[in-house]
Amino acid sequence: MLSLLLVVLASVVAIEGQDVDYAQFVNPFIGSEGAIPGYAYGGGDIFIGGAVPFGMVKLGLDTYEEPLNQSALNGGWTPQGHVTGISLMHESGTGGGAKYGFPSQMPLASLEGVNLLDNLTYWQDRVGDDVASVGYFKTEFESGVQVELSASRHAGLYHYTYPSRDGKHVLVDFSHYLPHPTRSWDSQFYTGGEIEIQPNSSTYTGYTSIANGWCLGPPVTVYVCGEFDTPPDEARAFKGKNTFPVGRHFRSYNNATTPEPTYTGSSARSGPQSDRVGAIFSWNGADGTAEIKSRVGISFMSIDKACAYKNEELSWSIEETAQAARAEWNRDVFSKIRVDTSEKANKTRLALLYSSLYFMHLIPSERVGENPLWESDEPYWDDFYTMWDLFRNQVSLWHLIQPTYYESMLRALIDMYKHEGFLPDGRSGNYNGLVQGGSNADNVLADAYMKGLRGGINWTEGYAAVKKNAEVLPFFDQNPVDPQGSLKEGRSALDDWLPLGYVSADRNSRAVSKTVEYSLNDFAVSQIAKGEAPGDQELYLRRSAGWQLSWDPEATSRGFSGFVMPRYANGTFHKTYNITNCGDCNWEDESYEGTAFEYSFVIPHDVSRMIALMGGPQHFESRLDYVFQPNTSGVDLGANGLGITTINNIANEPDFQTPYLYNYLNKQWKSVERSRQLASDFYFNTSNGIPGNSDAGALNCWLVWQMLGLYPVVTTPVYLLESPWFEDINVTVNHDRTLRIRAEGLDDGEGRQGYYVQSVRLNGQEWDRNWFEHEDVGGIMVNGGEILFRLGGEQKVWETGDVPPSPGHRVVDIGGG
Ligand SMILES: *[C@@H]1O[C@H](CO)[C@@H](O)[C@H](O)[C@H]1NC(C)=O
Ligand SMILES: *[C@@H]1O[C@H](CO)[C@@H](O)[C@H](O)[C@H]1NC(C)=O
Ligand SMILES: *[C@@H]1O[C@H](CO)[C@@H](O)[C@H](O)[C@H]1NC(C)=O
Ligand SMILES: *[C@@H]1O[C@H](CO)[C@@H](O)[C@H](O)[C@H]1NC(C)=O
Ligand SMILES: *[C@@H]1O[C@H](CO)[C@@H](O)[C@H](O)[C@H]1NC(C)=O
Ligand SMILES: *[C@@H]1O[C@H](CO)[C@@H](O)[C@H](O)[C@H]1NC(C)=O
Ligand SMILES: *[C@@H]1O[C@H](CO)[C@@H](O)[C@H](O)[C@H]1NC(C)=O
Ligand SMILES: *[C@@H]1O[C@H](CO)[C@@H](O)[C@H](O)[C@H]1NC(C)=O
Ligand SMILES: *[C@@H]1O[C@H](CO)[C@@H](O)[C@H](O)[C@H]1NC(C)=O
Ligand SMILES: *[C@@H]1O[C@H](CO)[C@@H](O)[C@H](O)[C@H]1NC(C)=O
Ligand SMILES: *[C@@H]1O[C@H](CO)[C@@H](O)[C@H](O)[C@H]1NC(C)=O
């Protein structure tokens, strides 16, 4: 009876939360600029525009910003870029070669001097400041055209207001996409399309196919169904020679000057040489309106589906559409974490919290019913970009606050393995790639499994999927950035890992980081094996200690000894390897996006052995202290670390957990001090308020955990206790339960330091450990409950219980260690 009552109360609270318009606190521009104001480079690479949570459609501007070395076109929007189109599909927060930016429209106030095949003749600068809020975007072009945008899940609404009634045109360019002007091998290119204008001219249908981009995928074909609210006075389809500089095999002429279009009546198709196709719609003003609206639906399956989405999901009202999107964000995302929003609340914190939640729900894209590749009753998702980013802590938050979406994602991942042979590490455009280190979907599945997620997931297949990663060398995919191994999927260095137990530096690239990641991957496999194939558990636990084989106890740097180092197949180490400087730290280097100094801390499954190998708790603590000292970094972090000078690079995923490692010494107050300092040094409610690419929201999610006062230890059911930023937080977990996090005595405004933990109570029980498990105290993360932090100014060692567990603990005798 009591528990029933609690459930009822919990859902009442959840409904109350939905009445608050949390969306008002979201600043959609956080991460839109880098260190140099006005330029995107080094910023978050974020999408800005109209979208619903995990929406297939993300409607926003595509721009071209110069100079290119200060630009990043990945999210479409740049601060000062010329607008070349307004398209329906985007990524958010990603690096690498741009993906998507199609299908597009472009409103033109005049056709004078315009060559429809040459964006330089019509692109537009913007005047004034762009306006964006959750589900809504507005800008004005120098031509005087005002553009408003909003979106539903599979369709977008454009609302154009022209400066004059008799100059109204909309260009539909099916050959438009986000280019990668400085690099051709992973730039997208157009491979063909078809457009047809319906007899009454107010609708157009067709498809466009765009290939390559970041993961070097095959063409992505998108069916399009667009409609204007006012029948145009003239509608002409056109085609023209494909002269784009990349996609050599798909274009008709080499370096001809940009050709002029040929008008082809009411339809155009590419034909064998991938001609560019599009249409131009014109209104002469006879109807007396300066406004034109357009609804566009897209589908990966058919034109009919695209049309149905457009008709069923959208009205013609931008206000109504934006309001519906905002309501969905409030209901399905923001109200899952409720804090005080009254007058006395710190509004900067509300901006940081709700904006962070916003950015961690833009990708992946939910494409249930939109899988063009195979027939299946399982759900389908795309744009996992990438697991390397997401596994660290983002999936763990989705697990709690998005259980329906999250289960759907996991089922989709397993279905990809079933039909394509491998889980993706990254995936976009219906294609797996790029693997940066290990097969990190293993970590994702293990995290869910260990926290008891079952639902509609077939774990027999889930286990088979991770076991395949652990056992089967993927085929060699010839990616130009890595001559040695496959980047598409799986673990390309299994040929070392299986016989040697580590990844060697002479037979493989990225030996240090791959060894570290494969170790955690095999630990993840062992975690699922525990329940699904107990006979395998020991094997994978043993392999998860492989990082110790790559540990050189004699390696010394900055007065510290013992590091994971590049080791050759013959067993010797690369003794002269620079421990604080990984060079470009890229695909062909010995360590990827992190130095040996950093990766030596990234052993979450066996922190206890790591501490021992670093010389015991005292040495470990001073080494940990050291990596947070300013001006210690030996690397120029560039776009991956805005202004960071410490060895620890909180702006990039490998180091996300490092500041919390003091918990393993029962000095939790130091974790709190460090992590709070990092959060307040690098996260702001400003355009450059995030330290580098947001990475699909991974950086934003790091901040959400920080504000909750918790940190998940991925692949295990453990959460570390830290220090919350709000006095009272209600989190909706497991669909409809409430986890309440209270911070009694919190006093941390304007330089005050009343945020150290004095004691903790879990569900009314005094708690002497600085960590707990998912199902502790009556299943606190499953059934809800209360975590009470008592905070104060004293840097107190309050935890007297066991340190957090090292469930993958193994001792490999490496001599000298
Ligand atoms: C503009 O068009 C040219 C070819 O005409 C193409 O190479 C370039 O990528 C386009 N730029 C943008 C930003 O779309
Ligand atoms: C970017 O390129 C310009 C020349 O176009 C050059 O002057 C500038 O130094 C470059 N900036 C960086 C950060 O490379
Ligand atoms: C135009 O034609 C299309 C397809 O035949 C139809 O769906 C649409 O309703 C028509 N629109 C108007 C304004 O008549
Ligand atoms: C093609 O362009 C290159 C570089 O701009 C130029 O050297 C060459 O003469 C051009 N070839 C033709 C056939 O126009
Ligand atoms: C959290 O939930 C409790 C119990 O319903 C309620 O008393 C409290 O006001 C809520 N706090 C917030 C910030 O929503
Ligand atoms: C956050 O930044 C946005 C954009 O500059 C601004 O409109 C908003 O007022 C800021 N919020 C707070 C609390 O400062
Ligand atoms: C799970 O998958 C396995 C292997 O494909 C299959 O044999 C089994 O029937 C499935 N279990 C359920 C409950 O569907
Ligand atoms: C081991 O291999 C490395 C890399 O190929 C080589 O430089 C080194 O000389 C070898 N050492 C021995 C003892 O064979
Ligand atoms: C770090 O280096 C910068 C630039 O050389 C210097 O201004 C700053 O004082 C240094 N900080 C510390 C803590 O040494
Ligand atoms: C390692 O790189 C750092 C930073 O570039 C440099 O200062 C240091 O001298 C290098 N150390 C060795 C041993 O080469
Ligand atoms: C509000 O929060 C911000 C970000 O944590 C902090 O910098 C500021 O000092 C706080 N303001 C007050 C008045 O507490």
How many angstroms is it from 345 CA to the middle of ligand 5? 14
Q: Which of 644, 593, 618, 441 is nearest to 524 (CA)?
A: 441
What pLDDT is stored for residue 252 in this prediction? 75
Name the band, by pLDDT with cuts 50, 70 and 90, for residue 8.
very low
Q: Which of 760, 810, 806 is nearest to 787 (CA)?
A: 760
Per this entry, what is the length of the chain? 817
Cα dihedral 90/91/97/100 (nearest 10) = -20
- Per residue in 775-807, pLDDT (tens digit) is 999 999 999 999 999 999 999 999 999 999 999
- Per residue in 493-539, pLDDT (tens digit) is 999 999 999 999 999 999 999 999 999 999 999 999 999 999 999 99
Could you identify the residue written with the tokens 């979406």?
405
How many angstroms is it from 559 CA to the middle of ligand 6? 45
What pLDDT is stored for residue 638 in this prediction? 64
- Residues 26 and 75: beta-carbon distance below 8 Å: no
Name the band, by pLDDT with cuts 50, 70 and 90, for residue 255.
low
Read off the tokens for 661: 């490692």
Q: Quick check: CB of 69 below 6 Å from ligand 2? A: yes
- Per residue in 55-80, pLDDT (tens digit) is 999 999 999 999 999 999 999 999 99
Residues 429 and 206: their CA atoms lie apart, in Å, by 18
| Ligand 5 first shell, C-beta below 6 A | 13, 338-340, 728, 730, 740
Residues 608 and 666: their CA atoms lie apart, in Å, by 12
Which bound ligand lies closest to the C-alpha atom of 10? 5
Distances (CA, A) of 476 to 488, 618, 804: 9, 45, 40
- Per residue in 385-408, pLDDT (tens digit) is 999 999 999 999 999 999 999 999
Tell the CATH topology of 363-676+683-720. Answer: Glycosyl hydrolase family fold (1.20.1610)
What pLDDT is stored for residue 12 in this prediction? 42
How many angstroms is it from 452 CA to the middle of ligand 9? 48
- In this structure, which residue's CA is closest to atom 4 in ligand 3? 198
What pLDDT is stored for residue 10 in this prediction? 43
Read off the tokens for 133: 């809020």
How many angstroms is it from 6 CA to the middle of ligand 11? 34
Residue in 84, 212, 254, 260 to alter for ligand 1 test, most ligand atoms within 8 A of Cβ: 84
Read off the tokens for 687: 């355009």
Q: Do domains 22-335 and 363-676+683-720 have the same CATH topology?
A: no
Q: Which CATH number is correct for 22-335, 2.60.40.10, 3.30.1490.20, 3.40.50.11810, 2.70.98.10?
A: 2.70.98.10
- In this structure, which residue's CA is closest to atom 5 in ligand 2? 67
- In this structure, which residue's CA is closest to atom 12 in ligand 7? 458
Residues 543 and 766: their CA atoms lie apart, in Å, by 38
- Per residue in 538-590, pLDDT (tens digit) is 999 999 999 999 999 999 999 999 999 999 999 999 999 999 999 999 999 99
What are the structural domain ranges in the chain? 22-335, 363-676+683-720
User: Measured from the CA of 748, which atom of ligand 11 is nearest?
Assistant: 14
What pLDDT is stored for residue 200 in this prediction? 81
With a threshold of 0.85, does the pTM exceed it? yes
**18-44 burial: b if 16+ Cβ within 10 Å, else e:** beeebbbbbbbbbbbbbeeeebbbbbb
| Ligand 9 first shell, C-beta below 6 A | 630-631
Q: Which of 2, 100, 1, 3 is nearest to 737 (CA)?
A: 3
How many angstroms is it from 21 CA to the middle of ligand 11? 21
Torsions phi, psi of 811, nearest 5? -115, 115
Q: Quick check: CB of 179 below 6 Å from ligand 1? A: yes
Which bound ligand lies closest to the C-alpha atom of 465? 7
Residues 114 and 112: their CA atoms lie apart, in Å, by 5
